Structure 1
Amino acid sequence: RRARIKFCWKCLLLSVLLEKAVFKSYTLRCYHCENSPSLCKTNSTCLPTEDTCLQMKFGKLRTFSCWKASQCSVNDIAESFQLDNFEFFCCQHDLCNESTITRVNKAAFSIASVMTMLWMLL
């Protein structure tokens, strides 16, 4: 005899709607300043499509903003800001882009990428 599994369509619909409500209601907060010579003190709520905070340093200036994690790469940032020599980092919790940049610069990232590709080929 087969066991019948009772499926609750209303329960499924309710759980999907609840999940969407919970995850859509949270929006990230990031520091937001353009071309600032010092650390940023202004913050803003990101758009629902922006899931990452960005800090970028070029010369003596810094830009702080909301960003998309899928575009947090050297090439995407260079293209968007029309820059060649810069440092940046992305993070994904509220106001995480306030500290000074000590993480990634374009040259180091490029060298690390090439080394990783060579290692994978061997």
Structure 2
Amino acid sequence: MNNYSGICLVFCFAIFGLGSAIRCVKCKDYTGSCTKSQDCSYEDACLTLTERGGQTYRQCVKYSDCDYNRLAQMFPAVPNFYYNCCTGDLCNGATSIGTGKPLLGLLASLAVMWWCMH
């Protein structure tokens, strides 16, 4: 029975893509009305980097680069900024409301595990 539960769990993760890559908004603007997006790798996060009194950059970035000093090296033309890194689909959009995929995947995983144990 234990192997059966493990198989059910792996199947559920495969269906809902919990380990898959994310999509991020990609643009550089002043208004926050970005509509372009890009596919990122599985090790990426979505970056929103805002220049004080200037433009906002939105793009994929390696999660390990989500550090002020590292970003300062990556954006040398932006001397003073604040940033945010997130890991949900299109979470760096100007009016992001979230997609609910992680919660849906968790609930589905729990339901499949419960079903497999009965």
Coarse TM-score class (shorter-chain normalised): 0.5 to 0.7
Match of 1:54 in 2: 47
Using the aligned pairs only, state the percent identity. 29
Match of 1:108 in 2: none
Matches within 5 A, 1:1-122: 22=14, 26-34=20-28, 36-39=29-32, 40-50=34-44, 52-58=45-51, 59-82=53-76, 83-99=78-94
Match of 1:109 in 2: none
List per-residue Cα deviations over 1:8-42 (Å, max 9, x = no partner). Answer: xxx8xxx7xx69x94697110110013x1221111
Report the residue type matching 1:61 in the other structure.
Q
Q: Relative contact order, CA 8 A, sep 6+: which one is greater?
A: 2
RMSD after superposition: 2.6
Q: Is the contact made by 1:24 and 1:48 (CA closer than 8 Å) also made in structure 2? A: no
Query: Computing the radius of gyration over CA atoms, which structure comes out larger, 1 or 2?
Result: 1
Structure 1 residue 76 displacement after superposition: 0.6
- Distance (Å, rounded) in 2 between the aligned partners of 1:74 and 1:66: 16
- Give aligned pairs, total: 83
Structure 1: runs of 5+ lacking an equivalent: 1-10, 101-122
Report the residue type matching 2:85 in the other structure.
C
